[in-house]
Chain A
Amino acid sequence: MPYFHQSVCISPQNSFPETDLSRIRESKNNWLEATEPDYPGIPAAVKRRMGKSVRMAVGASIPLLKKFPPPDGMVIATANGGMEDCIRFLNQIHEYKEGLLTPGSFVQSTSNAAAAQIAILTKNHNYNITHVHRGLAFENALLDVVMLLKENPQAGYLLGSTDEISAYNYNIDRIAGWFRDEPVLNTGLFEKPAKGTIAGEGAFMVWMNNERTAAQAEMMAVKTIHTVDPGLVLKTMEKFLSENLPSGETPDLVLTGENGDIRMAPYIDIVESYFNESVPVARFKHFCGEYCTASSFACWLAIQIVQCGFVPPLLIKKKGSRSSCKRILIYNNYRDIQHAFILISAVERV
């Protein structure tokens, strides 16, 4: 059985180096920017060349790479990689009319740059892959590690995600109607449902292996589907739960990717209303904002929650009446069509 061990999450909230989920940092201009540490582990010359998404990913991986043996592989999710560098290079192309350009931004903008940098810094020759399937990139990376741990039961893997906001991709998504036109605070994101949400970013890194000892959470199952039919989302969830939970049992918490966009509401509603009153419902996107790998922030939250058995009140939407919180169902939706379920459980201590 795959387990989550230590993890690092760089997010817009207080998640690293200290974790404090009793307070919420506010968004600015519909952005939730990541609170970045100083990254003492990254050599200064290397850090200067790094774009934000690469820097966050490398920075989050360093504490884990120091603690654990060299990973048997690294599996990174990012939908876009270095957007800022990509646009910087695009600007150079225009500014210099395709003249003599410097390749730095081009190389940094490739989406496999984070996985590549970590491999280079640690001289690690093992399995190395970058999943980029938009709103399901993280779930695919997670499934990749689940398969790797079946193929190599003794191995240990670094799983991670990273995505950054840039002024330009924010603008493209804003024109496309995915972000709120009017200013809205993350703390009031669910008050007036409207079209669009707020932008976020972050990186998550976790060590995974099959060892229960010292594990922080158990990875039970993951399932994704593309559809715009809420009925099919429900059917997929029913099947997923019946295959992965003992018959008749429900999760102790449903953690959803509700983001204040009315277009996602039908899916959130159908998932929430499936469970009876006793099952609490929580949400997370007012903490991390919307981005392609936002469900990795939910994964990090779930790992924290099953360890202490306590759901931070700021996350709670519906209190429920469960006395413990051992099994969490994460449901995330990315722009209508991409849906994902992840089941995470507390580690059974023998």
Chain B
Amino acid sequence: MSRIFITGMGLISAIGDSVEENRDSLINEHCGIGHIRFYKTAYAGKLPTAEVKHTTDELNKKLFGTPDPSVTRTSLLALHAAGEAIRDSQLPSKEISSAETALVGASTVGGMCLTDELYHDARARDGGTPYLSSYDYASVTLAIRERYGILGETATINTACSSSANAIIYGARLIRHGFAKRAIVGGADSLAKFTINGFNALNILSSKICAPFDRDRSGLNLGEGAAFLVLEKEEDLNGKKTYAELTGFGNKNDAYHASSNSPEGQGPYLSMMEALERSGLGPQDISYINAHGTGTENNDETESRAMLRLFDQVPPFSSTKSLTGHTLGAAGAMEAVFAIQSLVYQEMYPSLSFQHPIPETGLVPVLHYTRHFIRHVMSNSFGFGGNCSTLIFSKS
């Protein structure tokens, strides 16, 4: 079975437009969560979210010069991050477009970021907005496909908040089975009236900056962004620089409730366990964990319980969602990039807004930027519908 390495990365989020800008913000504790400025909702000024600090027009001009009116904000974020990852991989454009390149995207919002336009088009007699073919999840992946003319296997995955972790897993499997030589994998989501109302109806949005793993945490803050990675197999590297090796992954279902984890975190436990088994590592080999850590009462306690069950000594862990917000379908790929950066630079990133541990579990996350020896790093993503996924990256 081929070993899979990461040879390119791209990222845009509330804390920066590139992988390096994001790292700077993580190191300097620059939180991207704040007042809503770029999308229309009655919750502006009430619920903080983590916006990418550009208007949709700005993103469009930056990427297209002449703005393409049918491309949604979600797709623009995806194009931005995928572009950085592709440039970073230094693959020639002929190889990117070839039938041997797979593209696996992920999104949970897709073009529904245009909540008002969708409402209009669903009722219009004729005419309609320019977005008629851009509302679905696949539109995000198809925008990247079209820009690079990719002819290989192309897929879009939606497993809620673990979507892009599963995109990484699916891309790696396509390569291992010989259906692709390389894969561009990741996810994107943008903030929308639709999602903020949905999460608010579930009573899991905090009116303050989120405080993952804190005793007094009061919910999550939604965020937006995109992250993509380029995967290649060992045989094709020819001495090329790599960031890390994808050594393990797990996909399990909590099978408990549509929108909350089981009290003991069975899904999270099983998914971490499966990733460890696949990598041939033991719990003691994990140096650092990028936790799912949304800041909701349910997630942080159940994730903590799952970690306590699996690890005799829980490794240092952080929730970077305390800086980027919860970027839903982009979160798995985004946090995979953060996990890989921590391996490359041998460092751990802060979990902000933490004050008191949860009494029942007593776990304390990494509170400040810390240099640390890291050999294997784990990244967790758990979603609605019980979809739990775990990735393990190792030093290459």
Contacts and interface: CB of A to CB of B under 8 A. Distances in A.
Contacts of A116: 253, 258, 384-387
B198 A132 contact: no
Contacts of A137: 138, 156
Contact of A125 (B118, B139, B255): B255
B251 to A, nearest CB: 5
A121 B322 CA distance: 34
A172 B121 contact: yes
A248 interface: no
Contacts of A127: 251-253
Contacts of B197: 89, 92-93, 98, 101, 106
Contacts of A100: 201
B157 A132 contact: yes
A94 B365 CA distance: 40
A111 interface: yes
A174 to B, nearest CB: 9
A182 B133 CA distance: 21
A131 B153 CA distance: 13
Contacts of A140: 153, 155
A175 B132 contact: yes
B375 interface: no
A195 B152 CA distance: 29
Nearest to A144: B170
A128 interface: yes
A112 B252 contact: no
Contacts of B155: 131, 133, 136, 140
Contacts of B41: 98
Nearest to B385: A116
Interface in B249-301: 251-259, 266-267, 270
Interface string B25-66: 000000000000000011100000000000000000000000
Interface in B178-236: 179, 193-194, 197-198, 200-202
A1 to B, nearest CB: 15
Contact of B251 (A91, A111, A123, A128): A128
B123 A119 contact: no
Given A125-B266, A129-B157, A110 B108 contact: yes
A273 interface: no
A224 B253 CA distance: 28
Nearest to A114: B385
A65 to B, nearest CB: 13
B74 to A, nearest CB: 13
Interface string B101-116: 0000000100010010
A112 B119 contact: no
B159 A129 contact: yes
B136 A175 contact: no
Nearest to B198: A106
A125 B270 contact: yes
B108 to A, nearest CB: 7
A132 B136 contact: yes
B202 A122 contact: no
B132 to A, nearest CB: 4
A62 to B, nearest CB: 16
Given A150-B177, A172-B121, A172-B135, A125 B252 contact: yes
A89 B257 contact: no
A172 B122 contact: yes
B304 interface: no
Interface in A47-102: 79-81, 86-87, 89-94, 97-98, 100-102
Interface in B137-167: 137-139, 141-142, 145, 150-151, 153-160, 166
Contact of A122 (B142, B154, B255): B255
A30 interface: no
B92 interface: no
A135 to B, nearest CB: 8
B239 interface: no
A102 B197 CA distance: 10
Contacts of B112: 86
A103 interface: yes
Interface string A136-173: 11001001100100110000000000000000110111
Contacts of A80: 136
B386 A120 contact: yes
Interface in A307-330: none
A110 B384 contact: yes
A151 B177 CA distance: 9
B127 interface: yes
Contact of B123 (A97, A102, A134, A171): A171
Given A101-B197, A172-B132, A107 B115 contact: no
Given A116-B387, A143-B179, A172-B128, A97 B42 contact: yes
A74 to B, nearest CB: 8
Which of A102, A116, A117, A175 gathers the greatest number of chain B CB atoms within 10 Å?
Answer: A116
Given A128-B387, A224-B154, A119 B159 contact: no
B154 to A, nearest CB: 6
Contact of B122 (A119, A130, A132, A168): A168
A45 interface: no
Given A101-B197, A116-B386, A125-B270, 9 more contacts: A106-B197, A107-B259, A112-B158, A112-B159, A113-B258, A131-B155, A172-B135, A224-B154, A226-B151
20 contacts: A90-B194, A93-B119, A93-B194, A101-B197, A115-B385, A119-B253, A125-B270, A127-B252, A128-B252, A128-B385, A129-B159, A129-B251, A129-B387, A134-B139, A134-B142, A136-B155, A140-B155, A143-B179, A175-B128, A226-B154
Q: What are the 3 closest A-B residue pairs judged by CB atoms, nearest first? A: A116-B385, A106-B198, A168-B122
